[in-house]
Structure 1
Amino acid sequence: LSHKLIKAVTFQRATNTIALVLCLFIAFLTGIASSSYWGVFLKYFNITNFGIADPVFGHDISFYFFTLPF
């Protein structure tokens, strides 16, 4: 009985290790793919209002520069 338990624990550790390595690899590839868009992320999350409202819809003009293109 204990021999089967040791095999089960060993299999579980191996499975967890493989899953962790696979997740880290996918995270690395996602980071590389999205790193070229870092400037776009910065512009979107650091929006500054222009202080001028659109006469038709009432949005700040910065809405059309930063939020609407996404």
Structure 2
Amino acid sequence: MPQGVKCSVSNCSFWKQGNLCNAEQISIDIDQHASAHYDTEFAEEGLSSNHHDRAENSSVTCCHTFRPKS
């Protein structure tokens, strides 16, 4: 479980009291890949979970870990 990861999205299934994230792992990517499906397999030259990008600042990033509470 990530230690001390703060989050204010209270409708996420990983959100817990005190604004802490209870996810086992956090997945973050740049907004350009916001609609990427990391649970889908691609050919070796395709986008994979091991790809690397550079973000110029935090405003171009997004968290893929979010899962709405059911």
The TM-score bracket by the shorter chain reads under 0.3
Who wins on radius of gyration, i.e. which is larger? 1
TM-score (norm 2): 0.22
Structure number having the greater helix percentage: 1
Task: For CA contacts below 8 A with separation 6 or more, give which structure has more relative contact order.
Answer: 2
TM-score (norm 1): 0.22
